[in-house]
């Protein structure tokens, strides 16, 4: 016997949004708490600052969302981000190429790293963890080789990417928004996006339904690589220089953001919006702890605990309703 589920849909939109998305509820709670604890938190400058801090993680995390939806993992994104930025800076300065060309080369490098990951995974049958761990080493190493271990200045034109438009809208936030929209569209509307969910949910069922598994994995990891390149460029432009050790460990933040946002590491679940919320939670938390002058050491402890709590709450909430 069926009764309709109208109870939820009759509630105000915001409440049902919060009910369906534990991460968003957590973000709201966090923001309210911080605005009570610190007068500075809600200022426009501070919020834009949070946005800028979230941008690099969020862009990496959007890329990781594709991979995690297919049930894979990409540990190489931080290293690929650094390598792409180094390649950009090096091509524009040492090699003297015009900066737009250098930018394209950097994106191609990111894309290529992703394709190599995918080839190892889809055709070489390596577990994603191993393939991308290897790529992490290779990309980080190449970044050091190309830069000879020291930072390279970014071309001026590219450094403006770290600025603001009209004096208030930071370009990194804009890039984050654009990458987020792209991700949402790819996941919801395109063939490859829908195929990723099927692949992550049940690879054999997807294959027997005519989805070309290998090809879709190429698309998935290539997107992750390209997004990593964009993140690397944004990060380097903010710092005005490309650094071979930049973005170390960012892959873990990215993965955490995706999972906090409601994705499942076993695949088949995940959304662009959730990932954005996950990245914002991490950034708000760091920002808030700074405002409250919590020591950097304790910050790590708190963030670790919050990641565990956020995912735990989400799991419990789902189990309760399922």
- Residues in contact with other proteins by CB under 8 A are 1-5, 188-192, 194-195, 197-198, 201-202, 204-212, 264, 268-269, 321-322
Q: Which is nearer to other proteins, 143 or 187 (CB)?
A: 187
- In sequence order, the 6+-apart residues with CB closer than 8 A to the CB of 151 are 241, 242, 243, 244
Beta-carbon count within 10 A of 215 CB: 13
Q: Which is nearer to other proteins, 1 or 44 (CB)?
A: 1
Q: Which is nearer to other proteins, 30 or 213 (CB)?
A: 213
Smallest distance, Å, CB 202 to other proteins? Answer: 5
Smallest distance, Å, CB 194 to other proteins? Answer: 6
Smallest distance, Å, CB 304 to other proteins? Answer: 28
Q: Which is nearer to other proteins, 266 or 300 (CB)?
A: 266
Smallest distance, Å, CB 270 to other proteins? Answer: 11
Smallest distance, Å, CB 191 to other proteins? Answer: 4
Smallest distance, Å, CB 1 to other proteins? Answer: 5
Distance CA 149, CA 138 (A): 14
Could you tell me the two tokens for 235? 């990060």
Closest CA to 279 of 179, 186, 130, 136: 179
CB of 106 within 8 A of CB of 232? yes
Burial 71-108 (b: 16+ CB within 10 A, else e): bbbbbbbbbbbbbbbbbbbbbbbeeebebeebbebbbe
Q: Which is nearer to other proteins, 160 or 194 (CB)?
A: 194
Handedness of CA 31, 35, 41, 45 (dihedral sign): positive
The interaxial angle of helices 272-291 and 22-37, nearest 10 deg, is 20
CB of 180 within 8 A of CB of 276? yes
Q: Which is nearer to other proteins, 170 or 274 (CB)?
A: 274
Q: Which is nearer to other proteins, 67 or 206 (CB)?
A: 206
CB of 301 within 8 A of CB of 106? no
Smallest distance, Å, CB 182 to other proteins? Answer: 13
What DSSP character marks residue 161?
G
């Amino acid at each position: 016997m069926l009764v309709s589920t109208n109870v939820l849909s009759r509630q105000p939109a915001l409440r049902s949004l919060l009910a369906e998305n534990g991460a968003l509820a957590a973000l709201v709670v966090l923001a309210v708490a911080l605005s009570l604890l610190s007068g500075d938190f809600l200022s426009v400058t501070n919020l834009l600052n949070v946005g800028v801090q979230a941008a690099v993680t969020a862009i990496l995390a959007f890329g990781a969302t594709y991979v995690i939806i297919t049930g894979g993992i990409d540990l190489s994104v931080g290293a690929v981000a650094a390598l792409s930025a180094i390649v950009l800076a090096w091509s524009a300065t040492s090699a003297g190429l015009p900066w737009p060309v250098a930018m394209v080369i950097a994106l191609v490098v990111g894309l290529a790293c992703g394709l190599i990951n995918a080839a190892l995974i889809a055709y070489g049958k390596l577990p994603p963890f191993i393939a991308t761990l290897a790529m992490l080493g290779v990309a980080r190493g190449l970044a050091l080789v190309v830069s000879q271990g020291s930072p390279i200045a970014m071309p001026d034109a590219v450094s403006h990417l770290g600025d603001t438009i009209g004096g208030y809208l930071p370009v990194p936030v804009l890039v984050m928004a654009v990458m987020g929209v792209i991700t949402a569209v790819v996941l919801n509307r395109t063939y490859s996006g829908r195929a990723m969910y099927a692949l992550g949910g049940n690879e054999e069922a997807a294959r027997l339904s005519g989805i070309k598994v290998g090809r879709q994995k190429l698309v998935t990891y290539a997107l992750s690589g390209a997004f990593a390149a964009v993140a690397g460029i944004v990060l380097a432009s903010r710092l005005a220089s490309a650094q071979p050790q930049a973005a170390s460990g960012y892959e873990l933040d990215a993965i955490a953001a995706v999972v906090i946002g409601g994705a499942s590491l076993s695949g088949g679940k995940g959304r662009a919006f959730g990932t954005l919320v996950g990245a914002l939670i991490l950034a708000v938390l760091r920002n808030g702890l700074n405002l409250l002058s919590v020591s950097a050491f304790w910050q790590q402890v708190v963030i670790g605990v919050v990641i565990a709590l956020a995912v735990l709450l989400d799991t419990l909430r789902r189990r309760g309703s399922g």
